[in-house]
Structure 1
Amino acid sequence: MKIKNRHRKSFALRCCATMRSPLPIMVCSMVGCIMIIHFYMVSHRTDVEKSQARLRQISATRELGQTEEESFQLPPPRSRRSPRAIKRRGPRKPPTVIDEFLDDSSELRSFFFPHRRTAVDPSKEGNDSMHFYPGRQWLDTEGNPIQAHGGGLLYVESTGTYYWYGENKDGPTYQAHRKASARVDIIGVNCYSSKDLWTWTNEGIVLSGEETNTTHDLHKGNVLERPKVIFNDRTGKYVMWMHVDDANYTKAAVGVAVSVSPTGPFEYLYSKRPHDCESRDMTVFKDDDGTAYLIYSSDDNSELHVGPLTGDYLDVTGDMRRILIGQRREAPAVFKHRGTYYMITSGCSGWAPNTAMVHAAETMMGPWETMGNPCAGGNKIFRATTFFSQGSFVVPLRGLPGWFIFMADRWNPSDLRDSRYVWLPVGVGGAADEPLEYSFGFPLWSRVSVYWHSRWRLPEGWRGFR
């Protein structure tokens, strides 16, 4: 009987405890609900912010993809023309727009090379501020024309600074002999720095030509073209690759220089023919995993070669692939979007402009497929001549996925120091316009478009889009 009573008391105590417990349970439940609601609201707000950011990006880039039209009329034929145009045209062919472009006495001269008074000047404020004007003179912060031809850009994330490297052609244009191409003595590689891609500060010559040593690769009578710089994360050094040649373009080699600073000075190391092959127009590309590649025109410019660099970026490895065989392409400019590699190239026509082509691949080593002419807008002649320019580099626009800047030179063979820059927006998206080489007529890659604008600017706050 006592045992039963003890069980009853124990049961009663448990019941009382159970009756006293609903308040903490309710509190815990309410806290849990509040936390769930909070997490939902935070997640929803994040999704909304992402959607709003995406809409801002779409709105900001809408103008970049709107093309403009250009029109001009050929002047009447003349009996006397520039020897350069006559040499290219021949005695019986009617004059073409390219003849007018090459003729420094043409009535269209000011259209292709506008007067200095229209120069893009970062020291002036007003409606022109932060706008790109393809083909106009572009001044640095000291008011001097930028000398960085055939160049490329390097972005240093730790300082948020872009560095523009290119050929300094601020010397007299001449011909080494009667049949030679127009040239300027080697002065060196210039470097400019910028935070906004529009205002450029001259950091000086970071790799100088050689004045007296005639055996040196960079002796002033030789050729230095298309310098490109990449940073090696493992060694902490900046490595410059360039095309080095003799005045007759028979050396056909690459040169390598190195520096501990993006603004130099760079120490020239050596030259060589990569993979024991001719190398003329070239570029380097650093992939997301840190692997770097050399891409160069070879075999009398009839094909391109691509191969990885060594871990320190100072040499090529033994691995190499021949690509675009028989297509006679040069001036490669490589970029990457959503795991696909793209490359814009030029045809081989000396200083005369020609039609650009864009190519795509799943890996840097190929196979590479040709997608056609990326140029959009302007007019038929503009598109057929890459807007009277030749590409040198493609710059990713950080924070604007699928958008890039196409860097090109509008060469002035009668006065190379006055060659101009043509920077235009590049968009990647949509189906390719033309059947590809190896895909049985079905485009596998997104369309790449270089949009013509006579005046354009980057979207407001583009650096804030992340």
Structure 2
Amino acid sequence: MQKETVKPIRSGEIWPDNQGVHINAHGGGMLYYKGTYYWYGENKSDSTSKAMVGIMCYSSQNLTDWKNEGTVLPVELNDTTSDIIQGCVMERPKVLYNAKTRKFVMWFHLELKGKGYAAARSAVAVSDSPTGPFQYLRSGRINPGILPFDMTAGQRSILDTLQPEHFREWWTPDWYKAVTEGLFLKRDLQGGQMARDMQLFVDDDGKAYHIYSSEDNLTLQIAELSEDYLSHTGKYARMAPAGHNEAPAIFKKDGIYWMITSGCTGWAPNEARMFSAPGIWGPWTQHPNPCIGPNAELTFGGQSTFVLKVPGKDNAYLFMADIWRPKKPSDARYIWLPIQFKNGIPYIEWMDSWTLDSFFE
């Protein structure tokens, strides 16, 4: 019997689905369930990055041949009171399977129609099937009225002294110090914390976490999800305060948590950052840019979106990123590269073409 030819992965090129159309699943994430990979992402139109269609899903058994499963969470076309009315912003969808409830749970970053990026909400939807349809539940800010669980008494007393009128000029050393100490955390305390670029992560014990850019994209926050993954428990911590990180992508190897992020430069690429920690709550240590090769200082022209631990294979971690094309959003491309390790430290080397079986035994 002839062995099936393994298709190469060529980042930055057109990736056709089973209908010959470029895969439209940007800012995406991957779920592996019962032998199939499900890739969820934003449908981008030709002329706008606003949500005109909704969240897409594609399925594959081998990570290279993709079937279009359609729009699993469509925008609302008629109900103008809906959070997800056509023209809103739906970004970075991620889906988890909850074995206890047997539900598929989707979280994504939501901005309300006509409000720019001011809402900074997280939205949740649920389905009985990985291919939907997902039922939209609600959106909102995160953990209103609750301070990070690990804030010390001293840090809380400093928080009490921070007054917005003293820091009207942004980007000064005093302002950075105040943001680090919780200026924006305090500002958003009653209404809930902002959440834009986001990620989901399930640990070995089944607990799930929501990681998101908060505090006007200046500080990442890590928040624990409830047992059913449909809400937050109120336990959360801040990460890299005032570090200006977006696009978090997290994975765990040999008991160490790794997170790859980007800086904040809009649609333009920038240099990737990398952090590690012995536990999900930290302490997090920053490392140099993990990218190696041409254009590594701009993350090969892309921005991180997800790291997939390939099931059933040792040391198999797939770095996923987006090459944004804001003038024609539907033409955005994908970067997929293997994460390699040297002395236990991850690095990502550019390859024009590579195959999964050549790296992932």
TM-based fold match above 0.5: yes
1:336 matched to 2:252: yes
Asked whether the 8 Å contact 1:307–1:365 carries over to 2, the reply is no
Tell me by how many angstroms 1:368 deviates.
1.0
What are the residue-to-residue correspondences of 1:264-275 with 2, within 5 Å? 264-275=132-143
Which stretch of structure 1 is more off in the superposition, 224-233 or 214-223? 214-223
Using the TM superposition, give the Cα deviation of residue 461 of structure 1 relative to its aligned residue in structure 2, in angstroms: 9.9
- Residue equivalent to 1:240: 106
Aligned to 1:120: none
Match of 1:207 among 35, 59, 73: 73
Larger deviation, residues 257-266 vs 420-429: 420-429
Give the aligned residue type for 1:259.
S
Kept in 2: contact 1:294–1:307 (CA 8 A): yes
- Letter of the 2:77 counterpart: E
Deviations 1:132-187 (A, max 9, x none): 1110010001111101000000001xx31100000011x2324xxxxxxxx33331
Structure 2: runs of 5+ lacking an equivalent: 144-191
**SS of corresponding position for 1:453:** coil
Give the conservation status (yes or no) of the 8 Å contact 1:282–1:332: yes
The 1:300/1:268 distance shift into structure 2, 3 A limit, reads same
Matched, 1:453 2:351: yes
Partners of 2:91 and 2:315 in 1: CA distance: 29
Structure 1 stretches of at least 4 aligned residues deviating more than 3 Å after TM superposition: none
**SS of aligned partner of 1:386:** helix
Alignment-derived partner of residue 173 in structure 1? 47
Rounded Cα–Cα distance in structure 2 between residues aligned with 1:429 and 1:400: 18
Show the counterpart of 1:262.
130
> What is the CA–CA distance in structure 2 between the aligned matches of 1:228 and 1:348, rounded to whole Å?
21
Paired position in structure 1 for 2:7: 130
In the alignment, the residues of structure 1 paired with residue 125 and residue 310 of structure 2 have an alpha-carbon distance, to the nearest angstrom, of 27
Structure 1 or 2: more strand by fraction: 2
Equivalent pair of 1:172/1:184 in contact (CA under 8 Å): no
Question: Which residue of 2 is the match for residue 189 of structure 1?
Answer: 55
Report if the CA contact (8 A) 1:356-1:374 is conserved: yes
1:144 alignment counterpart = 21
Map of 2:217 onto structure 1: 301
1:390 shift after superposition: 0.5
Matched, 1:361 2:265: no
Which residue in 2 is equivalent to 1:251? Answer: 119
Offset, 1:215: 2.1
Give the whole-Å Cα distance in 1 for the aligned partners of 2:52 and 2:136. Answer: 14
Question: How far is 1:460 from its partner?
Answer: 5.5
Q: What amino acid is aligned across from residue 302 of structure 2 in structure 1?
A: S
Q: For residues 279 and 241 of structure 1, what CA distance do their matches in structure 2 show?
A: 11
Note the residue ranges of structure 1 that are not aligned, 5 or more in a row: 1-125, 175-182, 431-445
CA deviations on 1:104-138 (whole Å, 9 max, x unpaired) are xxxxxxxxxxxxxxxxxxxxxx98x5101110010
Decide whether the 8 Å contact of 2:46 with 2:331 is kept in 1: no
Q: Is the 8 A contact 1:390 1:410 kept in 2?
A: yes
Q: Is the 8 A contact 1:184 1:416 kept in 2?
A: no
What displacement does 1:377 show? 1.7
In structure 2, the partner of 1:419 is 332
Q: 2-side partners of 1:322 and 1:227: how far apart? A: 22
Normalising by structure 2, report the TM-score.
Answer: 0.83
Aligned mates of 1:401, 1:376 — CA distance in 2: 22
Pairwise CA distance, 1:376: 1.1
CA distance in 2, matches of 1:271, 1:208: 15
User: Would you say the 8 A contact 1:403–1:428 is kept in 2?
Assistant: no
Cα deviation, residue 429, structure 1: 3.6
Give CA deviations for 1:229-270 in whole Å, capped at 9, x if unaligned: 001111010000000012410100000000011011000000
Corresponding residue for residue 287 of structure 2: 371
Higher relative contact order (CA 8 A, sep 6+): 2
The worse-fitting range, judged by mean Cα deviation, of 402-411 and 412-421 is: 402-411
Once residues 358 and 212 of structure 2 are traced to their aligned partners in structure 1, the CA distance between those partners, rounded to angstroms, is: 37
How many angstroms apart in 1 are the aligned matches of 2:37 and 2:46? 29
Structure 2: which amino acid aligns with 1:459? D
Which residue of the other structure, out of 31, 35, 38, is the alignment partner of 1:163?
38
Instruction: State the secondary structure of the residue aligned to 1:274.
Output: coil
**Counterpart position of 2:89:** 223
Instruction: Please tell me the residue identity of whatever aligns with 1:256.
Output: V
Larger radius of gyration: 1
Partner residue of 2:262?
346
User: Which structure carries more helix by proportion?
Assistant: 1
Contact 2:51 2:90 in 1 (8 A): no
CA RMSD of aligned residues (A): 1.7
Q: Give the match's secondary structure for 2:232.
A: coil
Give, in whole Å, the separation in 1 of the partners of 2:66 and 2:82. Answer: 31
Q: Separation in 1 of the partners of 2:74 and 2:82?
A: 12
Return the alpha-carbon distance in structure 1 between the equivalents of residues 338 and 296 of structure 2. 14
**Offset, 1:400:** 3.5
CA drift of 1:190 comes to: 0.6
Paired AA for residue 296 in structure 1:
Y
Letter in 2 for 1:283: Q
Query: Normalising by structure 1, what TM-score?
Result: 0.64
